[in-house]
C-alpha cells in the first residue's frame, strides 16, 4: 500500500487519482505512472517554501527548510525500491546553524603576535572599535603587550567610562550619536531619569570620533650635501603585512623574523634615531622632497643622525623593541608632515 503522510484532503484526492491512473482500465500504465509522479512532485513543490531539485542515487529530492536550523529532504521514488512509487519525508544528516552575534562584552588577553588590526579581524570588528574601547591605545595603537587586557564589544562602537562632568548629551556628542542610541542600548541598563555614576561604563553602538595619533619630530639638521629622494619608494623589508593603515594606525606593520634587514625606502639623510616609548628603536629618514619615512621596533640601528643613505641601503634590523607583541617593522610615510598610506606608494606584485 502507498502511504502519503498527510491529512490534507488535497493529497487524499491525489492518492485516489493515482490509484485510478494505475488501474488497467485507464490510461496505459507506463504513461500513468509518469503522470502520477509528475502530479505528486507538483503537489509537493506547491506546498510553499523553497527547494533545490537534483537527482541523487536514482532519486529526485527536494531540499526544504522547515525552520532556521532544520533541513529535511522530501523524496519521491523513481525506481529501485521495493515500492517504487512512494513519498516520504526524512531528516537530513545536516544541520544549518544560523549565525548569531556574540552577546557579551569580553576581556581579551593579548597574545604573542597580536596587534589592533588582527584582534579586530578576529572578532569581526573595525580596528577603531578596539581603540575606542581601550583609551590607552588612542594616541598609540601599537602600545600593546602580551598579557594586556582589552575590552571587546559585540558590535562596532565605543566603550566609554564616565568621568566627572559627563552627561548623556556630552557623551553622545563626543561619539557622534544621538542620546537614545545610548539610553536604549541593552548593555547599559539605563532607566529614567538616567543618573550617571563616575566610573560607570557605557556601550555606544556605532560611536566614532576622530583620533590624533602621536607625531614624532625629526631633530638632526640636513647636511649640506644631503642626497635627495626620487619619490619612488621600495618595500623597506621582506615579510608579510600584519597590520594595515587605518585611522589611529597611520602606518603599516610588516612581520618578519628578528634580524631581517631593513632598507631605506628611498634616498635621503637620517634625521633622527633613538628610542621612544612604544616605537622602541626607530629611524627617521628625510628624503629632501617633502617626504619622510619612519622605521620602528628595530633590534639594531645601523645608521646615525645626519648620515646620507641611498635607496636600498641597510639602516637597521627587524626587532620587537618598545611596545610590541612580536618581531615586525612599523613603517610610516609622511608627506608635508601628513601621514599617508604607505600601500599607495609602494610597488605591487
Helices (H) and strands (E) in the chain, counts: 6, 19
CATH 2.70.70.10 domain extents, the chain: 240-344
- What superfamily in CATH does domain 106-205 come from? LysM domain (3.10.350.10)
Residue for grid cell 561604563: 201
Q: Residue 276: what are its φ and ψ, rounded to 5°?
A: -150, 110
Position with higher pLDDT, 304 vs 52: 304
CATH 3.10.350.10 domain extents, the chain: 106-205
Q: Output DSSP code: residue 273.
A: E
Q: Output DSSP code: residue 246.
A: B
Enter the C-alpha cell of residue 101: 552575534
Q: What is the average pLDDT across 338-344?
A: 93
pLDDT at 349: 60
pLDDT at 9: 55
Q: Angle, to 10 degrees, between the axis of helix 29-45 and the axis of helix 9-22?
A: 170
For 2-11, 70-79, 85-94, 107-116, which range has the lowest pLDDT when averaged over its residues?
70-79
3-class state of residue 11 by DSSP: helix
pTM exceeds 0.75: no
Please say whether the beta carbons of 119 and 77 come within 8 A.
Answer: no
Q: How many residues does the chain have?
A: 349
Determine the Cα–Cα distance for residues 190 and 211; give it in Å rounded to an integer: 28
**pLDDT (tens digit per residue) in 11-32:** 555 555 555 555 555 445 555 5
- Among 1.10.10.10, 1.10.8.50, 2.70.70.10, 3.40.50.10490, what is the CATH number of 240-344? 2.70.70.10
Amino acid at each position: 500500500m502507498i502511504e502519503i503522510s498527510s491529512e490534507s484532503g488535497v493529497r487524499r484526492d491525489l492518492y485516489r487519482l493515482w490509484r485510478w491512473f494505475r488501474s488497467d482500465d485507464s490510461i496505459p500504465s507506463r504513461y500513468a505512472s509518469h503522470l502520477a509522479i509528475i502530479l505528486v512532485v507538483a503537489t509537493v513543490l506547491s506546498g510553499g517554501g523553497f527547494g533545490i531539485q537534483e537527482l541523487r542515487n536514482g532519486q529526485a529530492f527536494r531540499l526544504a527548510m522547515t525552520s532556521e536550523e532544520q533541513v529535511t529532504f522530501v523524496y519521491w521514488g523513481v525506481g529501485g525500491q521495493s515500492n517504487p512509487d512512494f513519498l516520504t519525508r526524512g531528516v537530513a544528516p545536516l544541520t544549518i546553524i544560523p549565525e548569531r552575534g556574540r552577546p557579551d562584552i569580553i576581556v581579551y588577553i593579548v597574545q604573542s603576535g597580536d596587534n589592533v588590526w588582527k584582534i579586530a579581524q578576529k572578532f569581526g570588528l573595525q580596528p577603531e572599535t578596539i581603540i575606542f574601547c581601550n583609551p590607552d591605545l588612542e594616541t598609540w595603537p601599537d602600545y600593546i603587550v602580551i598579557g594586556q587586557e582589552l575590552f571587546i564589544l559585540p558590535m562596532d562602537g565605543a566603550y566609554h567610562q564616565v568621568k566627572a562632568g559627563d552627561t548623556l548629551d556630552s557623551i553622545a556628542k563626543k561619539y557622534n550619536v544621538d542620546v537614545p542610541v545610548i539610553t536604549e542600548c541593552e548593555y547599559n541598563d539605563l532607566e529614567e531619569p538616567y543618573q550617571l555614576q563616575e566610573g560607570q561604563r557605557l556601550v555606544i553602538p556605532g560611536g566614532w570620533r576622530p583620533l590624533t595619533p602621536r607625531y614624532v619630530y625629526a631633530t638632526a639638521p640636513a647636511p649640506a650635501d644631503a642626497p635627495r629622494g626620487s619619490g619612488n619608494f621600495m618595500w623597506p623589508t621582506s615579510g608579510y603585512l600584519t597590520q594595515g593603515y587605518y585611522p589611529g594606525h597611520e602606518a603599516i606593520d610588516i612581520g618578519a623574523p628578528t634580524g631581517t634587514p631593513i632598507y631605506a625606502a628611498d634616498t635621503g639623510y637620517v634625521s633622527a634615531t633613538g628610542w621612544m616609548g612604544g616605537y622602541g628603536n626607530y629611524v627617521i629618514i628625510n628624503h629632501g622632497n617633502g617626504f619622510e619615512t619612519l622605521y620602528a621596533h628595530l633590534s639594531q640601528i645601523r645608521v646615525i643622525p645626519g648620515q646620507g643613505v641611498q635607496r636600498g641601503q641597510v639602516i637597521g634590523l627587524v626587532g620587537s623593541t618598545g611596545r610590541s607583541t612580536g618581531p615586525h617593522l612599523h613603517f610610516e610615510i609622511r608627506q608635508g608632515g601628513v601621514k599617508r598610506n604607505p600601500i599607495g606608494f609602494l610597488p605591487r606584485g
